[in-house]
Amino acid sequence: MSQFSFLPFPNLESDRLLLRQVSANDAAEVFALRSNPETMKYIPRPLVTTVEEALEHVKLINSKIESGEGINWAITEKGNPKLLGIIGHYRIKWEHFRSEIGYMLLPEAQGKGIITEAIQLLIDYGFDEMKMHSLEAIIDPDNQASARVLEKNKFVKEAHLRENEFYDGKFLDTVIYSLLKK
């Protein structure tokens, strides 16, 4: 495990975005994200069915930050505290200087370049602060929007793994994209 600490929590900013810590105040938006079959379509996890479960998810996110296992941010537009999505380094292999990123966005915030901009902040933080050598994103092969966003951010398709995950009675393929530090 790394000696790296995510505390105090680092807010990240771009021209129009502020990435901040996810809090209990975001429970309604976290619920909206994780209970929606559309936003969860390519994420092999059960749908959240109550706000209490959404709050548990927020607690989980923040406990991983405290333990140094991973870090997720609430995606917001500057001047508006409403959580539009979640993005983070959520599976970090410190010993290999490699981190897996993941993200999700509310439907009303999609198609505006928000994730593309947020990923750029994540890349800079991963390489400059966390000292990662490579970043990866693992997506469903059918998730064309996510593939486009990753390619826009210079990620390269590295592998297509066939039926390597089992979820909900089915074997699923996954595609790995990666970005190496320049």
Which pLDDT belongs to residue 1?
A: 53
Q: Which residues pair with 103 in a beta bridge?
A: 87
**Residue extents of the structural domains in the chain:** 12-135
Report the amino acid identity of residue 177: Y
Which pLDDT belongs to residue 3?
A: 79
Q: Is 95 exposed, middle or buried (0-12, 13-18, 19+ CB in 10 A)?
A: exposed
Neighbours of 64 (CB within 10 A): 19
Which pLDDT belongs to residue 2?
A: 60
Which pLDDT belongs to residue 160?
A: 98
Mean pLDDT in order along the chain per 10 residues (182 residues): 86 98 98 96 95 97 95 98 97 97 96 97 98 98 96 98 96 98 93
User: What's the pTM?
Assistant: 0.95
CATH 3.40.630.30 fits 12-135, yes or no: yes
- Cβ proximity of 90 and 57 under 8 Å: no
